[in-house]
């Protein structure tokens, strides 16, 4: 079972499944199966319908069966208590269509993680919404916690294709203006935009008292620049082409990429924004663990 769970969390495996709902379900089941063998054991299954006992809670609501299995005190969670609103915000600009070798595109990877998170959140009876942008906001679906709402979210994700140029900074500002009730905002993007504008938009979310997780999604080759001796590069958003020998500039490229990523990591930390660097070969449970950790802190 361990092998099966580990396998289904691999992007190159799960991306072959066309049905997004099935993809999300398998990722979440593989994730939860992995939790049984992790430091989270005792929290893995119960977190969907229970929360840990806190001083002052009515002891009549303690679930004694869970106590017997885990030796931990949990309170039965009722639907009206789970009111976290989460907004999944996905970059659908043309650069997100990039992929190499067997890896899914950055957009496919982002939608798989987003779908799994949506499935997990509704299972927890939390409300989840969806925002999709490129140069501007293309889709904004407000948070809902009903199981039937997942089909709308999944259909929207499946029908979306990366299209226009990047406008991450301005689109995130506009998204922040549309989110009227504070909640958790999870952003999926390669962040290939002016960092000053993007970081300014993240401050906008934080100013409105939202909790924020930024998941920067890259293709492995965008970090390594391992393209061999001769290559023609085409800008996916402008069509501009450039012929070069990647091995000659690889070290300089890697240095600049590290600076680019380090700035996001450093300034997100300064703004109390959770920053997660992913590439399209990263197992999906890495992203789901980040959400689970944040969800536990929010109560």
Give pLDDT tens digits for 260-278.
999 999 999 999 999 999 9
Q: Total structural domains in the chain? A: 2
Query: Do 153 and 232 share a domain, yes or no?
Result: yes
CATH value at residue 236: 3.40.50.410
Which of 62, 80, 98 is the last residue before a domain boundary? 80
Q: How far is CA 267 from CA 123, 168, 196, 274, in A?
A: 33, 17, 10, 10
Q: Report how far residue 135's alpha carbon sits from residue 243's, in angstroms, rounded to the nearest whole number.
A: 28
Of all residues in the chain, what percent carry a pLDDT higher than 70? 78
Which of 40, 57, 80 is the last residue before a domain boundary? 80
Supply the pTM of this predicted model. Answer: 0.80
Q: Report how far residue 142's alpha carbon sits from residue 155's, in angstroms, rounded to the nearest whole number.
A: 15
Query: Do 72 and 97 share a domain, yes or no?
Result: no
Residue 7: phi and psi, rounded to 5, are -65, -45
| Torsion of Cα atoms, 182 then 187 then 192 then 197, to 10° | 10
Beta bridge partners of 232: 243
Q: Please give the helix or strand (H or E) that residue 132 lies within, else none.
A: strand 127-133
Average pLDDT over residues 57-83: 66
Q: Please give the helix or strand (H or E) that residue 152 lies within, else none.
A: helix 149-159
Which residues form the domain of 49? Answer: 2-80
Query: Do 166 and 191 share a domain, yes or no?
Result: yes
Which of 34, 62, 80 is the last residue before a domain boundary? 80
């Amino acid at each position: 079972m361990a092998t099966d769970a580990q396998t289904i969390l691999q992007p190159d495996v799960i991306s072959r499944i066309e049905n997004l709902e099935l993809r999300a379900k398998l990722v979440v089941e593989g994730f939860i199966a992995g939790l049984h063998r992790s430091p989270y054991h005792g929290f893995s299954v119960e977190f969907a319908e229970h929360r840990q006992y806190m001083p002052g809670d009515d002891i009549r609501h303690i679930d004694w069966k869970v106590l017997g299995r885990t030796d931990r005190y949990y309170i039965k969670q009722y639907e009206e208590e789970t009111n976290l609103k989460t907004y999944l915000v996905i970059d659908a600009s043309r650069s997100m269509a990039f992929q190499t070798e067997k890896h899914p595109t950055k957009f496919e990877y982002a939608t798989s993680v987003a779908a799994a998170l949506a499935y997990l959140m509704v299972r927890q009876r939390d409300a989840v919404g969806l925002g999709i942008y490129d140069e501007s906001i293309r889709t904004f679906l407000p948070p809902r916690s009903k199981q039937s709402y997942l089909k709308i979210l999944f259909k929207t994700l499946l029908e979306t294709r990366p299209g226009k140029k990047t406008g991450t900074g301005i689109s995130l500002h506009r998204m922040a203006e549309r989110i009227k009730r504070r909640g958790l905002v999870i952003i999926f993007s390669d962040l290939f935009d002016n960092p000053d504008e993007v970081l300014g938009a993240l401050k906008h979310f934080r100013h409105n008292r939202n909790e924020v997780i930024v998941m920067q999604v890259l293709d492995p080759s965008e970090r390594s620049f391992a393209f061999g001796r001769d290559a023609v590069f085409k800008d996916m958003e402008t069509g501009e082409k450039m012929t070069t020998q990647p091995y000659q500039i690889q070290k300089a490229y890697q240095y600049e990429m590290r600076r680019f990523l380090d700035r996001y990591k450093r300034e997100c930390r300064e703004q109390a924004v959770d920053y997660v660097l992913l590439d399209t070969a990263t197992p999906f449970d890495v992203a789901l663990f980040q959400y689970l950790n944040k969800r536990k802190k929010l109560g």
